[in-house]
Chains A and B, each alone.
Chain A
Amino acid sequence: MSVHTRIEGLGARAIAASHAGARLFVIGAKSLRGVFDRDYPKGEVARQMYVVGNKSLLFIAITMGFLGMVMVIQSGHQLNRVTGDLSQLGPQFLKLFIQEFAPTITALMLSTRVGAGIAAEVGSMKVTEQIDALRLSGITPTSYLIAPRLLACLSMGSILTVIAIVIAFTAGGISAWSVFGLNPTAFFDSSMVRTYDIVIGSVKALSYSLAIPIISGFCGLEARGGSEGVGTATTSAVIGSSFAVLLLDFMISGIGLMVFGGGV
């Protein structure tokens, strides 16, 4: 392949990527508008909330429980070696989980479970022309399919993040007490948590919960060519939403630090 055709290939790919970006933006905007059109079946949001919760609650509980334990034991050992003062273990742990770990890890799990589910469902509707049939019935697919999933992700994303914090903090406190004999009242101390931490954590949780259904829905709507196309859509949805979560994490943390100096 000559350098020339290679550059052409790159150019074509860049153009295709920017077109896809534009379509993603349009679908995002239409889905948000669909939230206000409320043109989806009755009870659909509740049904989708159940799907999101049912798919991820146990998964998130186990992961966050283990993560809480491991982090407390690891950092406890480190602290013991350096200062021997474990009084800040609980408060700092809580701060970190509210700001960073609970929303981000919950969202990464939602990307794999819920994102894949949305892409598979919407994608198979796309390849079997059900999406086309919806459009002909006078229904906008973004309003009908993505908007209720968006609302479900927004509400369940927040609820699951709170649950994640509670589980990780509890598991951490129990480990600190059983491994290091740390007094639970010293661990379960929320005095270090500032409004800033809660705001950053909430902004993250909400942005992730917007990004996951929109990106996954987009991947589903772009699917074509039978069951193979659905598989590709599902994979892209998981990769795309996970990547979006990490990117948003970086951006929101960065903006928080630059604009509010990390809340100090």
Chain B
Amino acid sequence: MTSSATPSSLIEFRDVHKAFGAKRILQGLTMEVGRQEVFFIIGTSGVGKSVTIKHLIGLLRVDQGEIHFDGERIDNLSEKHFYPVRKRIGMVFQHATLFDSMSLRENVALPLRKHQGLGTKEALAKSDELLERVHMGNFAHSSPATLSDGMKKRAAIARTLAMEPQVVLFDEPTTGLDPVNARRIDRLIRELSDDLGVTSIVVSHDLPSIFGIADRITFIYQGKAYKSGTRQDFEQSGDPIVRQFISGNSHGPMETPGF
């Protein structure tokens, strides 16, 4: 891997450690994400993938190590100073986190009113546009409770895009979706990067997604970036642990707590 000074890298984790009580999750994670990349973070359940990306928006704080975003150190920012970072890095959560008490367009309009100070009318108009972009225009007035998971996911993506973020974090965007809806989400992610220049960090264990749209991949194992590289690097890797993950084999050298 190239040195950490590469001008193309937008996000850098440097030797990040994170524990919850006695549970040590990240133990020296180092990785770099380039501009406009579709960057995948893969690994087994509970390894700390969600924990990793939550550090980028200040929902969790490092115990040790540094995180840099666009040339600026962000891990030590106060809650108040994290505010501008959160305008630039959006997140689509693992569980579709729309508010059932509001319609889809109101859900999408919420950050527009809160963060960008738009009036209700303007915000709703922009919200309709965004829902159109994720092919959910027909459902603008529906309540999230009445929609399928794939639809909710797309609406949640629209809400995140409302902020016009430079980076979007996707936490398992295709988990629980049927293959058709999953590939639609994949295409959407690819389009964001190719058409709008968005950098995407995608947490996933969906192999078709990974090998379909990833520019680069980091495999987290035992709190560290065990391997980073392109799709080809992973496909051709002879490493037994990487191979075990990719082939989904329950037998192999990988140590999973509890087994």
Contact = CB atoms under 8 A, between A and B. Distances in A.
Interface of A: 16, 41, 128-130, 132-133, 135-139
B97 A128 contact: yes
Contacts of B110: 137, 139
Contact of B94 (A41, A129, A136): A129
Given A16-B21, A135-B59, A138-B115, A129 B95 contact: yes
List the 5 closest pairs (A to B, CB-CB), nearest first.
A138-B114, A133-B97, A129-B93, A128-B95, A137-B111
A135 B114 CA distance: 11
Nearest to A47: B101
B21 A136 contact: no
Nearest to B94: A129
15 contacts: A16-B21, A128-B97, A130-B97, A130-B99, A132-B54, A132-B59, A132-B93, A133-B91, A133-B93, A136-B91, A136-B111, A137-B114, A138-B83, A138-B86, A138-B111
A82 to B, nearest CB: 59
A136 B95 contact: no
B88 to A, nearest CB: 12
- Residue in A135, A138, A139 with the greatest tally of chain B CB atoms within 10 Å: A138
B74 to A, nearest CB: 15
Interface residues of B, number: 18
A137 B101 CA distance: 16
Contacts of A16: 21
Contacts, number: 36
Contacts of A139: 110, 114
Contacts of A41: 101
Contacts of B59: 132, 135-136
B90 interface: yes
Interface of B: 21, 54, 57, 59, 83, 86, 90-91, 93-95, 97, 99, 101, 110-111, 114-115
Given A132-B91, A133-B93, A138-B83, 7 more contacts: A41-B101, A129-B94, A132-B54, A132-B93, A133-B97, A136-B91, A137-B115
A189 B94 CA distance: 62
Contacts of B114: 137-139
A135 B110 CA distance: 12
Contacts of A136: 57, 59, 86, 90-91, 111
A203 B46 CA distance: 47
B164 to A, nearest CB: 14
Contacts of B86: 136, 138
B18 to A, nearest CB: 15
Contacts of A137: 110-111, 114-115
Nearest to A131: B97
A128 B90 CA distance: 17
A132 B90 CA distance: 12
A136 B83 CA distance: 9
A248 to B, nearest CB: 30
Contacts of B97: 128-130, 132-133
A9 to B, nearest CB: 11
Nearest to B50: A129
A16 B21 CA distance: 9
B176 to A, nearest CB: 13
Contacts of B115: 137-138
A142 B90 CA distance: 22
Contacts of A128: 95, 97
Contacts of A129: 93-95, 97
A138 B90 CA distance: 12
A191 B114 CA distance: 55
Nearest to A224: B20
A222 B68 CA distance: 29
Nearest to B100: A130
A130 B96 CA distance: 8
A41 B91 CA distance: 23
A41 B110 CA distance: 11
A170 B115 CA distance: 54
Output the residue of A41, A129, A137 with the most chain B CB within 10 A.
Answer: A137
Contacts of A130: 97, 99
